[in-house]
């Protein structure tokens, strides 16, 4: 019961562990997938912004190249287009046909273009250099950083700047000296291919970021749905196995209950049987015991009759008296045997460890005379005889009866040889007593263990025929079983089982 209970718990615990583990793995997988997706989305958006920045930069570079190739471009002087004080050129300002013209260098042009694009699209361009001619062209910290990076070989940079609504991508790439630039910048010591500075493009990122955020939100929602769906399925599966297990457990429980009830009933029936058995035994004992007295009286009066009237009665009367006396003796003998038989159960000693070798010695001691008279040979493997759990007196009696029997039913043609052996079988010992006597026909194998069952006529073998019944009773009292094997004309072997003493934890003498 205990065992199956804890097994039940184990079998419940296992699917729970599997469920939790699967859920954990699934959670980790979902988290990993969400994270990589998030990174991927972000990277894609940055790549797009970089591409856009590069496009605007390229366009601006081309327009500047156009201006440079003209060595600057003349435009009308106005309030918004004053001459550039930093442009040192012999023909910076011109008068032609009443018009005031001034030379617009690429940097100046770009500032004006940037103002327009800033107004119209929030896009602005900043031309800068680590060594600016015009102080306003000085770089900010990020631009300084980027310019140094370009010196080291980087080709472009991108950053996200500003906060909340005013979020911008800033893109920056280097400006290199081309042939066209030299006309104005050669006196500053620049050569072809040098990095003169860079343009940083500022693009509004708000809309792009909003798109990115909604994409990210959508991605997270999709993941959440998938996560909940699969987790729910897992949970369902788990609950199903749980229900399966508990219904199985209930069935097992019911079965166990049933077995318990049936066992209880059996125990009760057994107890009732034992009670009536004991009562019967008590009755048999009492009857045989009480019969002894009147029988003794009958016997002694018949003897008295025989003594007083011998010679005074006729021949017939003498014969009758002999018959009566003989019958009384036989009956006395039977009653003594019957009492013996009852005593196996009612007057037995409590069990303890018994050395079978010692019990055998007791038995052989009692049989000493008959053994020498018949010249019987006893072959006992004393060393192989175990210590068993039982009643020493009864076990000696058992061996004595069986050996006595073997001698009694010997074959007169040969010397009686009786072998005694024991071997282990599971918890039990099987003890065998084999002879080379006259043997028993198989049809009598059952009958010989019953009370007062004799196979042979009165005259030939003495005894009432209770010896083997007593043997059976002793073996059964010890929880064993007795049976016979025989080869008529060749010999008989009696076998009986006894429990080993080690199963009873008793301290064994001499060990
Ligand atoms: C017509 C003359 C002229 C030409 C051609 C010219 N620049 Fe300039 N550049 C200037 C002047 C003048 C300034 C400084 C004043 C200003 O910012 O307007 C300047 C400023 C710059 C600056 C800003 C840093 C600073 O020193 O203030 C860079 C960078 C620059 N030029 C690169 C170039 C490159 C590259 C080319 C060739 C594609 C080029 N320029 C062609 C006249 C010229």
CATH, residue 460 = 3.30.565.10
For the chain, the domain total comes to: 2
303-342 pLDDT, tens digit each:
888 888 877 888 888 888 888 888 888 888 888 888 888 8
Number of neighbouring beta carbons within 10 Å of residue 8: 16
Query: In the prediction, which pLDDT does 315 show?
Result: 84
377-395 pLDDT, tens digit each:
999 988 889 999 999 999 9
Task: Looking at the CA of residue 137, tell me the nearest atom of ligand 1.
Answer: 27
Mutate to test the pocket of ligand 1, among 185, 186, 189, 199 (most ligand atoms within 8 A of CB): 185
- Residue 475 sits in which domain range? 349-504
Which strands, in side-by-side order, build the sheet including 93-96?
Answer: 73-76, 99-104, 93-96
292 within a domain of the structure (yes/no)? no
170 within a domain of the structure (yes/no)? yes
Distance CA 127, CA 197 (A): 7
499 within a domain of the structure (yes/no)? yes
Asked whether 495 lines ligand 1 (CB < 6 A), one says no
Asked whether 175 lines ligand 1 (CB < 6 A), one says yes
474 within a domain of the structure (yes/no)? yes
Query: In the prediction, which pLDDT does 12 show?
Result: 61
Share of the chain above pLDDT 70, in %: 94
Residue whose CA lies nearest to ligand 1 atom number 35: 177
Whether 5 has a pLDDT exceeding 70, the answer reads no
Domain C-terminal end among 185, 204, 223: 204
Domain C-terminal end among 188, 204, 220: 204
444 within a domain of the structure (yes/no)? yes
Whether 53 has a pLDDT exceeding 50, the answer reads yes
Expressed in angstroms and rounded, the spacing between residue 131 Cα and the centre of ligand 1 is 11
Asked whether 107 lines ligand 1 (CB < 6 A), one says yes
88-125 pLDDT, tens digit each:
988 999 998 889 999 999 999 999 999 999 999 899 99
Q: Which residue has the tokens 């049989």?
A: 367
Asked whether 200 lines ligand 1 (CB < 6 A), one says no
Whether 6 has a pLDDT exceeding 90, the answer reads no
Q: What are the tokens at 184?
A: 């104005």
Whether 36 has a pLDDT exceeding 70, the answer reads yes
pTM for the full predicted model = 0.53
5: Cα within 13 Å, side-chain hemisphere: 4
406 within a domain of the structure (yes/no)? yes
Cα–Cα distance list, 75 to 62, 72, 127, 134, 501 (Å): 19, 10, 21, 21, 127
Asked whether 177 lines ligand 1 (CB < 6 A), one says yes
278 within a domain of the structure (yes/no)? no
Provide the 3-class DSSP secondary structure of residue 98.
Answer: coil
| DSSP 8-state symbol, 97 | T
Q: What are the tokens at 256?
A: 């166990």
Number of neighbouring beta carbons within 10 Å of residue 413: 6
Q: What is the DSSP string of 156-218?
A: -EEEEES-TTS-EEEEEEEEE--GGGHHHHGGGT--TT-EEEEEEEEEE-HHHHHHHHHHHHH
449-504 pLDDT, tens digit each:
888 776 666 556 666 678 899 999 999 999 999 999 999 999 999 999 998 877 66
Distance CA 499, CA 478 (A): 8
Expressed in angstroms and rounded, the spacing between residue 61 Cα and the centre of ligand 1 is 12
Distance CA 206, CA 45 (A): 12
Expressed in angstroms and rounded, the spacing between residue 108 Cα and the centre of ligand 1 is 8
Whether 284 has a pLDDT exceeding 50, the answer reads yes
Expressed in angstroms and rounded, the spacing between residue 161 Cα and the centre of ligand 1 is 27
Q: Which residues contact 64 (CB under 8 A, 6 or more apart)?
A: 106, 109, 110, 175
Domain C-terminal end among 204, 232, 258: 204
Expressed in angstroms and rounded, the spacing between residue 185 Cα and the centre of ligand 1 is 7
Expressed in angstroms and rounded, the spacing between residue 122 Cα and the centre of ligand 1 is 24
Packing angle between helix 356-374 and helix 392-408, nearest 10 degrees? 30
220 within a domain of the structure (yes/no)? no
250-268 pLDDT, tens digit each:
999 999 999 999 999 999 9
3-state SS track over 74-90: EEECCCCCCCCCCCCCC
């Amino acid at each position: 019961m205990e065992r199956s209970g804890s097994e039940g718990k184990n079998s419940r615990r296992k699917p729970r562990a599997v469920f939790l583990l699967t859920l954990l793995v699934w959670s980790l997988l979902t988290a990993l997938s969400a994270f990589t997706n998030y990174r991927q989305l972000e990277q894609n958006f940055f790549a797009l912004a970089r591409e856009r920045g590069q496009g605007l930069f390229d366009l601006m570079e081309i327009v500047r190249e156009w201006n440079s190739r003209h060595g600057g471009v003349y435009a009308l002087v106005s309030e918004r287009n004053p001459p550039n004080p930093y442009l040192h050129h012999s023909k910076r300002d011109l008068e032609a046909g009443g018009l005031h013209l001034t030379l617009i260098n690429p940097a100046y042009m770009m500032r004006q273009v940037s103002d327009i694009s800033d107004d119209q699209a929030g896009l602005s361009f900043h031309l800068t250099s680590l060594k600016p001619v015009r102080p306003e062209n000085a770089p900010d910290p990020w631009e300084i950083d980027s310019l140094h990076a370009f010196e080291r070989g980087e080709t472009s940079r991108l950053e996200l700047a500003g906060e909340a609504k005013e979020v911008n991508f800033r893109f920056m790439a280097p400006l290199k000296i081309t042939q066209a630039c030299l006309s104005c910048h050669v006196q500053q010591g620049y050569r072809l291919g040098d990095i003169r500075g860079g343009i940083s493009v500022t693009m509004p990122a708000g809309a792009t970021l909003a798109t990115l955020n909604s994409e990210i939100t959508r991605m997270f929602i999709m993941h959440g749905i998938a996560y909940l769906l699969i987790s729910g399925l897992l949970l369902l599966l788990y609950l199903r196995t749980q229900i399966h297990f508990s219904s199985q457990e209930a069935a097992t429980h019911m079965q166990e209950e049933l077995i318990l009830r049936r066992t209880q009933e059996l125990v009760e029936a057994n107890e009732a049987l034992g009670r009536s058995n004991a009562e019967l035994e008590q009755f048999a004992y009492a009857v045989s015991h009480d019969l002894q007295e009147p029988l003794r009286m009958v016997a002694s009066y018949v003897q008295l009759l025989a003594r007083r009237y011998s010679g005074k009665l006729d021949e017939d009367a003498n014969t009758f008296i002999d018959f009566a006396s003989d019958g009384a003796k036989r009956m006395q003998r039977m009653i003594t045997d019957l009492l013996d038989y009852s005593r196996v159960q009612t007057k037995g000693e409590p069990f303890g460890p018994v050395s079978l070798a010692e019990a055998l010695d007791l038995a052989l001691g009692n049989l000493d005379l008959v053994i020498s008279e018949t010249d019987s040979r006893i072959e006992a493997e004393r060393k192989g005889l175990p210590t068993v759990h039982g009643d020493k007196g009864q076990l000696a009696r058992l061996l004595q009866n069986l050996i006595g029997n073997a001698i009694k039913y010997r074959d007169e043609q040969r010397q009686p040889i009786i072998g005694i052996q024991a071997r282990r079988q599971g918890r039990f010992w099987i003890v065998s007593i084999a002879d080379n006597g006259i043997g028993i026909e198989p049809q009598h194998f059952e009958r010989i263990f019953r009370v007062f069952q004799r196979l042979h006529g009165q005259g030939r073998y003495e005894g009432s025929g209770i010896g083997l019944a007593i043997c059976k009773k002793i073996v059964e009292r010890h929880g064993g079983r007795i049976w016979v094997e025989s080869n008529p004309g060749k010999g008989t072997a009696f076998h009986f089982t006894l429990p080993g003493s080690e199963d009873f934890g008793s301290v064994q003498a001499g060990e």
